[in-house]
Structure 1
Amino acid sequence: MHARSDGQGRPLAFELTGGEVSDYSGADSLIDIPVTTPCCFLADKGYDSDKLREKLLFRGILPVIPPRSNRKESIFYNVQHYKNRNRIERMFNRLKQFRRIATGYDKTRKSFLAFLHIAAVKLWLPSFVNRT
């Protein structure tokens, strides 16, 4: 499961890929969604590829991806920006609080993605409710 979130850690889009597929292959469709262009792309080491970095820089998006340990030459990334990645991890944690998503009860991709969207709506609801 790949997800794109906003600066507050709320989900914007999801992409499902198989478990054997590399992480950076799922990033292309998330970058292409018609939402405002982000200034940074925060991701873990699984998304470290020269092709993805090149594509992000071509679109004017700063890749904040730590290099893999087996890279021959180390690539600089902004450590201060990378600290904000905890918001994304917290978003995944909140999504996995829904038992159906955490355990993967659904047999089909379509139904699992539908419940991901329902969980995302539930995460967005507090942003729209008047708390006074």
Structure 2
Amino acid sequence: MSRTDLTEKQWCKLEPHLPSNPHHGHVYVEHRHVINGILWRLRTGAPWRDIPPRYGPWQTCYDRFVRWSRSGTWQRLLRVMQAAADEAGLVDWDGAALDATYIKAQRSAVGARKNAASSRKKGAVTDEWLGRSRGGITSKIHLCVDGHGLPLSVLVTAGQCSDAAHVGQVLDAINVPRPGRGRPRKRPSSVRVDRAYGARHYRQQIQARGIRCICPERQDARQNRLRKGRRGGAPPRFDAQAYKGRNVVERAINRLKDFRAVATRYDKRGHNYLAGVTIATMILWLL
């Protein structure tokens, strides 16, 4: 067993929720071998063609990776792992934190063909979440985690996009199913963010969702408030003790970047890169 492979404990948690193997046609490579091959590629950042033969043909690993990405299977598996942890009381909804990080795009990630017909569809991705920033051509991962540093939601955007401008989308992407009947859990009780999210507009977006915002006041906002005197109003409430735990999101980002194909983007297609991030997120829930 390679150190990148699923352990027996992880496989026992994952196996019951995988799609069933077809019993007709050509010889079907078992899910465990294929998933281990995909994880090997995510961990090492190597090209798909370099996947070791013990995991089966590299084409099989790539094909199943893409098909499950398009069918939403990876996202469904992530939801199942989150729901199981929530049912066991392992999710800390009181200590959530949110942040974003740049992802450098390797030169092989640039140059995906654009389909003119599909680009005219409403909501279609035309830039593949690649943009220019100070670091060159980059993407950006926006991440919300619980109090233990386990990801609740992930969003990928182009690298030049503002961190705070997508705070609403990141919070709305939280969707942890409940066992049996009932609506999924979508809101942590509080969220800790840094000063980049400290503008009044972004605070209001968080509070409008019934979430307590724990964020230090920006220096420019404080100076502007003091300059106005009484008209500037009272300073926003800030719990310094609770804010000390915001580093859980930084640690979660570091753990995601242990997957080299996440830390550096090699995928031309945005949906393929997002699938890789989703798989890495799912593995964090399995640890």
- What TM-score bracket applies, with the shorter chain setting the length? 0.7 to 0.9
Pair 1:57-2:207 in alignment: yes
Pair 1:120-2:274 in alignment: no
Instruction: State how many pairs are aligned.
Output: 126
Alignment of 1:1-132 (within 5 A): 1-33=141-173, 34=175, 35-71=185-221, 72-73=224-225, 75-126=236-287
* Deviation by residue 1:10-64 (Cα, 9 ceiling, x = unmatched): 0121111222221111111122133342111111222222112112223321111
| SS of residue in 2 equivalent to 1:17 | strand
CA distance in 1, matches of 2:262, 2:217: 30
* Deviation by residue 1:69-111 (Cα, 9 ceiling, x = unmatched): 3222354421111111111110000001111111122222211
State the one-letter code of the partner of 1:25.
Answer: A
Q: Is the 8 A contact 2:172 2:186 kept in 1?
A: no
Unmatched segments (≥5 aa) in structure 2? 1-140, 176-184, 226-234
State the one-letter code of the partner of 1:12.
Answer: L
CA distance in 2, matches of 1:8, 1:28: 22
| SS of residue in 2 equivalent to 1:66 | coil
CA distance in 1, matches of 2:168, 2:242: 21
Q: Is the 8 A contact 1:43 1:65 kept in 2?
A: yes
| SS of residue in 2 equivalent to 1:16 | strand
1:129 — aligned with what? none
CA distance in 2, matches of 1:97, 1:89: 13
Q: Structure 1 vs Structure 2: percent identity of aligned residues?
A: 36
2:182 — aligned with what? none
RMSD: 1.6
**TM-score (ref. length: structure 1):** 0.85
Q: Is the 8 A contact 2:194 2:215 kept in 1?
A: yes
CA distance in 2, matches of 1:92, 1:2: 10
**TM-score (ref. length: structure 2):** 0.41
Q: Is the 8 A contact 1:16 1:26 kept in 2?
A: no
| SS of residue in 1 equivalent to 2:216 | coil
CA distance in 1, matches of 2:274, 2:171: 18
Unmatched segments (≥5 aa) in structure 1? 127-132
